[in-house]
Every structure is written in C-alpha cells, then in structure tokens.
Amino acid sequence: MIRRGHGSGTGRKSRRFRAFTGVVAAVAVSVGVAGCAGSALGSASAQGSPSGIATHSDPTGTTRFTATTVQGGTVRIPSAKPTVLFFFSVECGSCGPESGVLAQAQKANPNAANFVVVDVAPTESAATITSFLTQNHAATMAYAIDTNAHLIAAYQIQALSTAVVLNPAGKVVYTGVDPSAAVIRAVLKKAGAA
C-alpha cells in the first residue's frame, strides 16, 4: 500500500517540483549525451557513479543497489532489514530540514533499518553530499548518487523531499513527501523493523 504524504504549502510543493523537473531534465540530457543504452535498470552498473552506486533488478523486479556511508562503508539495498530512501538535491531548500527529520527517526533505533539519501543531481559530488548531511545533522545516513535516474524511475519519484520505505524484500510499503519522524517510525515498525 502506497501512501502519499502532504507538503506544508502549495508554493513550496511547486518550487520543489520545478527543481525536480530541472534535475530530471539535466539527467536526461547527460545520459543522452553519454549515449547510455540498455535496459532501464541494467545499464547503471556499467556507467557507475561517484558514490559507487550500481543498480540492477533481479528476476522478481526488485531493484538492488549499494550506497556509501560518510565513513566510507557500504550498505546494500535491500537487506535483512527495512530501508528508508530519501530523494533529494543539495539545492532543494526543504530537503535539508527533512533529512534531519529522518536522522531523528534513525536515532530512535539506529539498527532497525537502513537510512539512505539518494541525490538526484548527478553533478553533486560525494564531498558536497557529505557536507550537506553534516550540516543537517544527518551524517549517520548512507548516500547514493542517482547519476542516470534509474532509482527515480524504479521508485516512481515525482518530487524532491520524497521518502520511500522498503520492506526487507525490497518492496515499497510507503511513499510520502516530507513525512514526520513519527510517521517513518510507524511505517518501519509495520515493515518489520525490530
């Protein structure tokens, strides 16, 4: 069951959507110029990215990828526990505070779930993302850079500041824009978080 979150204002939603469509257009142009071909999810591993993300889907259609922690470790998605994905860009005004909200949800039970921010702007570097996470008190979350929009497509993301919760099997159980920490904790519990 997919639930939609609510934003705090029409103007903010509109700016977020415009920013998101600009990022998606930039990704489309860069992927087109690079001549990326192949299946929608299968070609990412060949192209690679600054964060080491490699996406593919298995025979069941589950999207699998690897994210990087600020400390240099890796997190495989999906894993034995639920995962929260947060789609953002450093340039998104509401994404910083919302990443802090998700970090609060993570702090309540740090080992219950994976928390991963997904940068949809392919030109933003790992150093820029690390700085963004640190400034927003969210450096405990792993990150991935969606250089060729495979994760945007796989999870049908339509706006920045969108959170997606996956169960341990990698299936989407929640999608919402700017959810509260309480909402994320409740959804994670239903998704099997310890």
The C-alpha atoms of residue 95 and residue 19 are separated, in whole angstroms, by 11
pLDDT at 45: 31
pLDDT at 48: 36
Identify the structural domains of the chain with CATH numbers, from first to last: 10-29+41-190 (3.40.30.10)
The pLDDT of residue 90:
95
CA 171 to chain centre: 14
How far apart CA 99 and CA 148 sit, in angstroms, is 22
Residue ranges of the chain whose pLDDT lies below 50 = 1-10, 17-18, 21, 23-52
pLDDT for 53 equals 54
Pairing mode, strands 83-88 and 114-119: parallel
Helix, strand, coil percentages in the chain from 3-state DSSP, rounded to 5: 35, 20, 45
Chain segment 97-112, per-residue pLDDT in tens: 999 999 999 999 899 9
Q: How high is the pLDDT of residue 58? A: 67
Strand partners, 105: none
**What's residue 130's pLDDT?**
94
Rounded distance, CA 160 to CA 82, Å? 21
DSSP 36-61: --S-TTTSHHHH--TT----EE-TT-
**Model pTM score:** 0.74
Give dist(CA 33, CA 46) in Å, integer: 16
Give the list of residues 6+ apart from residue 147 with CB closer than 8 angstroms, or none: 27, 30, 44, 47, 48, 49, 50, 53, 122
HEC string for 92-159 = CCCHHHHHHHHHHHHHHCCCCCEEEEEECCCCCCHHHHHHHHHHCCCCCCEEEECCCCHHHHHCCCCC
pLDDT recorded at residue 75? 92
Compute the half-sphere exposure of residue 87: CA atoms within 13 Å on the CB side of its CA: 28
The SS3 of residue 184 is helix
Backbone angles phi, psi at 130, to 5 degrees: -60, -45
Question: For residue 55, what pLDDT is reported?
Answer: 60
